[in-house]
Structure 1
Amino acid sequence: MTTAVSFQHVSRHFGTVRAVDDVSLDIAEGEFFAMLGPSGSGKTTCLRLIAGFEQPSSGHIEIFGATAEGVPPYRRNVNTVFQDYALFPHMTVLDNVAYGLMVKGVDKAKRDAKAEEALALVALPGFGGRRPSQLSGGQRQRVALARALVNQPKVLLLDEPLGALDLKLREQMQVELKTLQRNLGITFVFVTHDQGEALSMADRVAIFNDGKIVQVGTPEDIYERPETRFVADFVGSSNVLSPDFSKASGGAARWSSLRPEKIAIERSGAIPAGMMSAVVTVRAVHYQGAGTRLNTVTVDGSALNVMAPSSLGRFADGEKLTLHWSPESVHVMGRER
């Protein structure tokens, strides 16, 4: 499989700050790859290194086998879609989309035709004569995509492009982005701090923390089999079980991860054979429609979050519950941090 982007021991320092710290990574051609992490974790700096807006302090970057260091952004076969879209307000939608082709010296008739094709790709045919101010947020996001795609880049970089949209539109655009990427076959590198976006769209996800990649894998790998406490805590919501708690509840004395939806509730106190278990007290109840999230605590003070289905009815603060779960639901982590 062809490698679209390769990082080989790449670092980027700003004074004493190691924004990117010895990152090695290969992104395949045609892959939808997400970089996920908290603010300041290094993911956006990595995106800027691919785009050419930053240069590495050390290490080596290749884009489709060609050395990227020292190559200016306009000479790289990549395009970037930013969160704020950066559309020119005084230009029509068509001229915004065609802008990159104009800079390259493409004649007007040809660039307008290509811009119309790009608008059709993002489901905006006939919108070329409008101004950005006449569009909704979702439509402006599509125009920004069309402007990036009209140059036919081999790699499309997306820097939190859905962050300015409301929840319903963001979910709609997640589906549209994934479909567009599949149809075009272009390598997408998507930066986000939203775990739902990364898990629902990406073929693989890299989790960043403190300038380093702490885990790379499929969305299922990342969610079901976190390698560290940081990944378990950051991606979704997980119960990180200490070695003492794991042993007391019937498992191995190792740091482990247990997702709230894997825990069953038994109000009668009975525990099915072969299950791990704990007796807890409900500390807080959070109704969430399809289910209820319970914050509970064991006698020894260990906290357990549980997702209870609505069919179990209501719960009350202070209620005693018996929890049980399958040993197969517990993932033993490779390391604590």
Structure 2
Amino acid sequence: MTAAVSLQNASRHFGPVKAMDAVDLEVAPGEFFAMLGPSGSGKTTCLRLIAGFEQPTSGEIRIFGEAVQGVPPYRRNVNTVFQDYALFPHMNVRENVEFSLMLRKVGKVERAREAEAALELVKLGGYGDRRPGQLSGGQRQRVALARAIVNKPKVLLLDEPLGALDLKLRESMQEELKLLQRQLSITFIFVTHDQGEALSMADRVAVFNNGRVMQIGTPEEIYRRPNTRFVADFVGSSNVLPPEFVDGVLGVRKWASLRPESIHVAKSGTAGAAQLTGMVIARSYLGATTRLAIQMGDLLLHATTNSGDDVAVEGEQVSIGFAKDALHLMEDAA
């Protein structure tokens, strides 16, 4: 099967700065693919290369098998949704959605029909006569989505489109985006620095750092089996344990990841293949769970426990247990 998007040894350098360095990845047709990483990791540069806003310094980019180096954005069968919406304030909602169709000289009646269908898809039917300034942030984001999908692109690129929304609305839009992607059956490539968004929405995730792809996998693979210390620490909350500690538990001198939810904490003894003691130095109530910071000699561990349990308080000694197979061994690379 021909990949929807393929990058082969693709790089983008700005003088001595390697914004993206020798990236290889393939996105399948109809896949919801997330590019995740901190600011400056290369994920947005990668998106801009696919969109055509930047050209690669070296390497190859293909969209459904067609090499697109040097091809301008308007000639690529992709559309981009930006974080700032980029709506025209002097146009109403319908005119914003119709705009690209007008540039393609689509007839007025057909433009109106296609725009209304796109607005219905994003649950904004009947909003066509309103101005962007009369809409909420979530509604403006939906207009931007409608404007992007009205062209029926093969690939939809989303550059941190939920970053400006408040938490409750962002969570709601995550669900709507995933449902919309399934309904349209087109390829979504979503850029975010929020690991929660990536894990909850994507079929697969590429984790970027320092211009390179550190790991590609399903959300479960990325979370449970990180390749490197960076992935373990960045994706979710993990205890990255040094080789000296791991050697004492498993007899292997390698870095390992131990997720906080895999640690059992009790005031006096706890079941588990490994059992240690430490002191609670911080406690954070998170609703359903409580997060504990536990000092164990020179090592600081984080554990999560159900808030309904008898949770230890700050300054209290606790026993710490975990199953040996909860330790995930990683490569030596950072």
Shorter-chain TM-score bucket reads over 0.9
2:305, 2:119 → 1: CA distance?
45
Q: 1:20, 1:212 within 8 Å by CA — same for their partners in 2?
A: yes
2:140, 2:3 → 1: CA distance?
31
Q: Which runs of 4+ in 1 moved over 4 A?
A: none
> Which residues of structure 2 form unaligned runs of 5+?
none
2:257, 2:317 → 1: CA distance?
23
Distance 1:303 1:336, change over 3 A: farther
Distance 1:60 1:336, change over 3 A: closer
1:62, 1:71 → 2: CA distance?
11
Deviation at 1:258, TM superposition (A): 0.3
Distance 1:106 1:230, change over 3 A: same
Deviation at 1:110, TM superposition (A): 1.1
RMSD: 1.1
Distance 1:262 1:251, change over 3 A: farther
Matched, 1:88 2:88: yes
Deviation at 1:311, TM superposition (A): 2.7
Q: How does 1:116-135 map to 2 (within 5 A)?
A: 116-135=116-135
2:214, 2:156 → 1: CA distance?
24
Equivalence for 2:291: 293
1:322, 1:249 → 2: CA distance?
16
Equivalence for 1:164: 164
Q: 1:6, 1:24 within 8 Å by CA — same for their partners in 2?
A: yes
TM-score with structure 2 setting the length: 0.98
Q: 1:255, 1:336 within 8 Å by CA — same for their partners in 2?
A: no
The AA in structure 2 aligned to 1:159 is D
Q: 1:250, 1:277 within 8 Å by CA — same for their partners in 2?
A: no
Match of 1:333 among 317, 330, 333: 330
Distance 1:19 1:270, change over 3 A: closer
1:289, 1:52 → 2: CA distance?
44
TM-score with structure 1 setting the length: 0.97
SS of the aligned residue for 1:130 comes to coil
1:278-299 deviations in whole A, cap 9, x for unaligned?
2111111111111111111113
Matched, 1:185 2:185: yes
Equivalence for 1:62: 62
Q: 1:278, 1:322 within 8 Å by CA — same for their partners in 2?
A: yes
Q: 1:41, 1:212 within 8 Å by CA — same for their partners in 2?
A: yes
Equivalence for 1:245: 245
> Which residues of structure 1 form unaligned runs of 5+?
none
Deviation at 1:313, TM superposition (A): 2.4
Q: 1:265, 1:308 within 8 Å by CA — same for their partners in 2?
A: yes
SS of the aligned residue for 1:10 comes to strand
